[in-house]
Amino acid sequence: MDLTIRLNILKEAGQIDEGIYKDIINIINMFKEKHNISLTEENASMLITHLAISFKRIKDGEIVNSIEEMIYEEVRCNENYDKSEEIFKDIEKVIESSIPEEEKVFIMMHLCALLNNK
């Protein structure tokens, strides 16, 4: 399944709106253009799904529970953490908004996993 198919399913199911859909497409393009990483269903399905749902939560004012500090410490120790932090900042630029710390933790986990498997 192509990532756009995944996004269309989320949109048709009412999980995301057109604005979030466009933001995610722009993020996919940013990965390719700025970081030379092609996001596919195989390498980024969890990241893209998480971004879409987290953007919906942010838009709706919902707060996700924080991850356990011990788990996040493992993420911070990941060899790709600094690169993930750079990409995270680029994501915020694309959506022209800051992402709450509670959401950032989970996104960083997915970014590190993506870069580990690159």
Q: What is the pLDDT at residue 1?
A: 57
What range defines the domain where residue 11 resides? 3-116
Residue 69, pLDDT score: 79
Cβ contact 86:22 at 8 Å:
no
Closest Cα partner for 108 from 99, 8, 17, 53?
99
d(CA 108, CA 17): 23
| Alpha-carbon span 80 to 89, nearest angstrom | 14
Length of the chain: 118
Element (H, E) at 87: helix 81-95
Q: Mean pLDDT per 10-residue run, the chain (118 residues)?
A: 90 96 97 96 95 95 82 91 97 96 92 92
Query: How many domains is the chain partitioned into structurally?
Result: 1
Distance CA(63)–CA(42), nearest Å, equals 28
